[in-house]
Amino acid sequence: AFLDNILNDATFRKGEVTVNYIKNTPELFKFKEPRNRATKMVNFLGNVIINGNPDVKTIDSTKKLVIPEIPKFDKQQAYPKGTKDLLTEMGPEKFSQWLKAEKKIHFTDTTMRDAHQSLLATRMRTTDMLSVAEGFAKNHPEVFSMEVWGGATFDVCMRFLKENPWERLRLLREAMPNVLFQMLIRGSNGVGYTAYPDNLIEKFVEEAWENGVDIFRIFDSLNWMESIAPCIEYVRTKTNGIAEGAMCYTGDILDPKRSKYNLDYYLRLAKDIENAGAHILAIKDMAGLLKPYAAAELVSALKAEVNIPIHLHTHDTSSIQSATYLKAIEAGVDVVDVALAGLSGLTSQPNFNPMAEAMRHQERENKIDMQSLNAYSNYWTTMREYYYPFESGLKSGTGEVYRHEIPGGQYSNLVPQAESLGLKDRFNEITRMYSDVNQLFGDIVKVTPSSKVVGDMAQYLVSNNLTIKDVLEKGESISFPESVKSFFRGDLGQPVGGFPKDLQKIILRDEAPYTNRPNAHLEPVDFEKEFKEFQEKFTNGMDREWEITDFLSYKLYPKVFEDLYNHYVKYGKVMHIPTKNFFYGMQPGEEIIVELDKGKTLLITLVSVGEADEEGKITVFFKINGQTRNVEIQDAS
Ligand code: 3PY
Ligand code: ZN
């Protein structure tokens, strides 16, 4: 190891070694921990076998998990030209004009981001995406973009899947170099739940581009331009990618009683987004409230008012949203967001396959090989079964969404949250309270993170048997959730029409709220100094150099990152463990092949599981590439 350090040392490599070289180079004595990665991996597996994956609350032992069929493709074939190549050729401005001039309808595939975020609590693992990534990019270069990153995936990747989100991005990028990659970014809130320093968001955007993101869909959870505009600017100045400014759709433009969010409101907002320099305008209908005839009116009006292409996003919670797409397509929308059939519908996006088929022989047809598209959908249908503990349980479309207005991505999270609070049986009550809280707050835009505030408040009130009247009449004696206090302080920015003043007083008491950008209250990050401190803080047990992207993960989610680091030190890289074994362990006699790293694979066999000794320790007997390897696991039950 000492010799390795010398051979890798920059001074030594430059041939600048002097007499006191060894004495003056203390780094030579810093040894990396032996890379016993195989042992770490069986330690992880042993733990899941004995104690279960902590993220899996219930196991259905009758469940049959079938190996999915991976659609065929030619490994030797070069990647066909796709939208990514076009962007490289044209640059963002020309690309935007090209898109606007396109006659055919374009499709963004959300399967690898919003679809599983909205159906499976964001738990889809990188390995299951990688299995089909190259083939999909080769067989379907006609997709407009793949939404693969951002939103809740960043957090969940680290917190629950124990993966590095940047690595996911890089691996997917490598497998799909020809189509545009899209991410969702929450303006000043980045991929988190609160405002971050401006220069942190700026650096994040730059690194996201460097690592593979092309289209940045930028929104703010209160439709606040002061959070959207700076982020558009970062994309324009720090990348050659596309700034897609999004307006979040709430209310109902056809309902004269919901005048706060009327057509005029959206037209003004769209103009502001265009003027801020967006290359594309997105209508982000996060809860699926945009009804077909409203879509016709909104899209027609926008087409007349703005000069950039329009990208429509919705969730099919009601089950009527493909009608919304048809109306929007007739009105001239340029791109719609869809998910492959197996991961579509309900709280996810409308179904890609029949949507594309519905356009066949129409003047805006986008020619897509349906048989191949179905084969990919079938892959996801089979794969989805592996994630059964994370299903929300919603079985059919619901008109309730027009009342509660819960975003699709939040719905699938609210269910386990309610369950963990012991409120599973009162879920309908929570959704009713959610809409009452929204009214109490003055009818706000609800999408991450503002939707979380409403959800937290609703769950808090239900679990404490409190009513809206209680809040208004005896709010002084209620200790409101931290997220609610923070919201009323102005940490998420300013809602349309401002805060209800009386309620703000009840919640904040003597604390003064602020009305300027929350970022103005945050110290900028000193990258040079803090990155160094970061590297010093996390030294032991790392078998690779820290990258700036690791530091960004840490700055966005310090505690989650630290837990991930500790997990990595203990168990190594677990992202390539097959999903079945990652969540449910192994059966005696079962053999699996796991990639440790590119080109390095292990054949792991679970031989048997011993009995617990008096201290509750259990020996688990494995074979790794034919060699016996036993690990002792503490039974935590
Ligand atoms: C997110 O912010 O994660 C969303 O998907 C909002 O719709
Ligand atoms: Zn969405």
Q: Which of 34, 50, 44 is nearest to 629 (CA)?
A: 44
Instruction: Please give the DSSP secondary-structure letter assigned to residue 177.
Output: T
**Rounded distance, CA 241 to CA 171, Å?**
19
Which residue blocks in 239-291 are alpha helix, DSSP H? 263-275
How many whole angstroms separate alpha carbon 392 and alpha carbon 347? 9
Residue 449 beta carbon below 6 angstroms from any ligand 1 atom: no
Instruction: Determine whether the shortest distance from the Cβ of 447 to ligand 1 is under 6 A.
Output: yes
Q: What burial letters (b/e) apply to 99-128, b meaning 16+ CB within 10 Å?
A: bbeeeebbbbbbbbbbbbbbbbbbbbbbbb
Which ligand number lies closest to the CA of residue 151?
A: 1
**DSSP calls for 365-399:** -----HHHHHHHHHHHHHHHGGGGGG-----S--T
Report which bound ligand comes closest to the CA of 315. Answer: 2
Longest alpha-carbon distance in the chain: 84
250-265: b (≥16 Cβ within 10 Å) or e: bbbbeeeeeeebeeeb
State the Cα angle at 627 between 626 and 633, rounded to 5°.
115
Q: Are 422 and 398 in contact (CB under 8 A)?
A: no
Mean pLDDT per block of 10 residues along the chain (637 residues) reads: 67 76 71 67 98 95 96 97 98 98 98 97 97 98 98 98 98 98 98 96 98 99 98 98 98 96 98 98 98 98 98 98 98 98 98 98 98 98 97 92 94 85 93 98 98 97 97 96 97 97 97 93 97 93 90 98 96 97 98 88 97 97 95 95
Query: What are residue 75's phi and psi, to 5 degrees?
Result: -60, -30
Ligand 1 atom nearest to 117, measured from its CA: 5
Provide the 8-state DSSP code for 351. Answer: B
Amino acid at residue number 143? V
Which numbered ligand comes closest to the C-alpha of 154?
A: 1
Which whole-number Å values give the CA distances from 296 to 132, 323, 327, 338, 349, in the listed order? Answer: 35, 10, 5, 18, 19
Q: Which of 107, 87, 211, 293 is nearest to 553 (CA)?
A: 211
Count of CB atoms situated within 10 Å of the CB of 580: 16
Its ipTM equals 0.97
**Can you name the residues that pair with 619 across neighbouring β-strands?**
632
Provide the token pair at 597.
């790293």
Q: The dihedral of CA 206, 211, 214, 216: what is its sign? A: negative
Smallest CA-to-CA distance from 387 within 230, 207, 559, 160 is with 160
Residue 412 in contact with ligand 1 by CB distance below 6 A: no
Closest residue by CA, ligand 1 atom 1: 151
342 lines ligand 1 (CB under 6 A): no
Asked if 251 contacts 290 with a C-beta cutoff of 8 angstroms, the reply is no
Q: Which residue in this structure is represented by tokens 């027609």?
A: 300
The pairing of beta strand 600-612 with beta strand 591-597: antiparallel
Nearest CA to ligand 1 atom 4: 151
SS3 590: coil
The residues with which 623 forms a beta bridge, in sequence order, are 605, 628
- Is the CB–ligand 1 distance for residue 114 below 6 Å? yes
The closest-lying atom of ligand 1 relative to the alpha carbon of residue 407 is: 7
CA distance 262 to 255: 8
User: Quick count: other Cβ atoms within 10 Å of Cβ 544?
Assistant: 10
Residue 150 CA: which ligand 1 atom is closest?
Answer: 3
Please tell me the residue having the least CA distance from ligand 1 atom 7. Answer: 286
Q: Which value, to the nearest 10 degrees, does the dihedral of the CA atoms of residues 278, 282, 286, 292 take?
A: 160
Whole-number pLDDT of residue 563: 98
Which residue matches tokens 């379907």?
A: 140
pLDDT of residue 34: 37
Please report the pLDDT score of residue 540 as a whole number. 73
CA–CA gap between residue 595 and residue 272 (Å, rounded): 48
199: CA distance to ligand 1 center in Å? 22
